[in-house]
Amino acid sequence: MIEKESDKIENKNENISEEGNISETSASSQDEISEDKESFNDDNEKINAEELKNTITNNDARLEQLEKEHETLKSQYVRIAADFDNFRKRQSRDQDDLKIQLVSKALTAILPIVDNFERARQQFKPESEEAQTLHRSYQGLYKQLVEVLKQQGVAPMRVVGQQFDPNLHEAVLREPSEEFNEDTITEELQRGYHLEGKVLRHALVKVSMGPGQENSQVAEEKDKVEEDIDSENIISEDN
């Protein structure tokens, strides 16, 4: 009887010991699981941090690339805009030049008519009432013609006493002069005109050679020029 009780006690102690071992084993397993979980979380954090770092790096590289593309497109836009502006200005200048050329051609064809009116005014001396009436009539036409030219931007040159300028004047005769210095215009043979600041027609002029004796060559040249001008006047009047 005593032996049976002793066996029960031993069995009971063994069960308690086994339960203790099981508890220790369970606790150890839980610790290991907790450590694994912490290690897994650390690994996940490291992976997430690395992925975030890579994402930031990639975004920075993409942003830098986009900025370069933006600068390239901006440069192309500025260049195209400048080219277009230059093209527009060039087209405007070309149109203005073409307009001036066409107007100049038309006005140049009218100038000989103005010359004839001026010659007629200088040469014609009306005496009778009828002649004076005729004189006033064509002088009225002359004034209308001059006004039209003025409205188109045509202005006559004033050359007598001015320094000779080949860009504005055409010297058809040079002669000694006691009154004018050398290369000074002494007489206007045919009036020159400006159009909007540009030369529409050069003025035909006599130019001073300065004080001195007029030689035979100059006299012959003078006679020839005057004959040519008179001949042109006759042809113009006939037309």
pLDDT by residue for the chain (239 residues), tens only, comes to 544 555 555 555 555 555 555 555 555 556 556 655 566 566 666 677 777 778 888 888 888 888 888 888 888 899 999 998 998 999 888 888 888 888 888 888 999 988 888 888 777 777 777 777 877 887 888 888 889 889 988 999 999 989 999 999 999 999 898 888 899 999 999 999 998 888 999 999 999 998 865 444 444 555 555 555 555 544 444 44
Question: Running DSSP on this structure, what letter comes out for residue 185?
Answer: E
The pLDDT, as a whole number, for residue 217 is 46
DSSP string computed for 125-139: ---SHHHHHHHHHHH
Angle at 175 between CA 233 and CA 181, to 5 degrees: 120
Q: Is residue 94 part of a domain?
A: no
Q: Is residue 37 part of a domain?
A: no
Spatial separation of the C-alpha atoms in residues 110 and 116, rounded to whole Å: 10
The pLDDT, as a whole number, for residue 185 is 93
Which among 216, 203, 230, 204 has a CA at the least distance from the CA of 175? 216
Q: Is residue 190 part of a domain?
A: yes
3-state helix vs strand vs coil in the chain, percent to 5: 70, 15, 15
Spatial separation of the C-alpha atoms in residues 111 and 148, rounded to whole Å: 12
Q: Is residue 213 part of a domain?
A: yes
Q: Is residue 45 part of a domain?
A: no
The pLDDT, as a whole number, for residue 206 is 93
**Residues 236, 237, 238, 239: is their CA dihedral positive or negative?**
positive
Number of folded domains that form the chain: 1
Q: Tell me phi and psi for residue 102, to 5 degrees.
A: -65, -45
Q: Is residue 76 part of a domain?
A: no
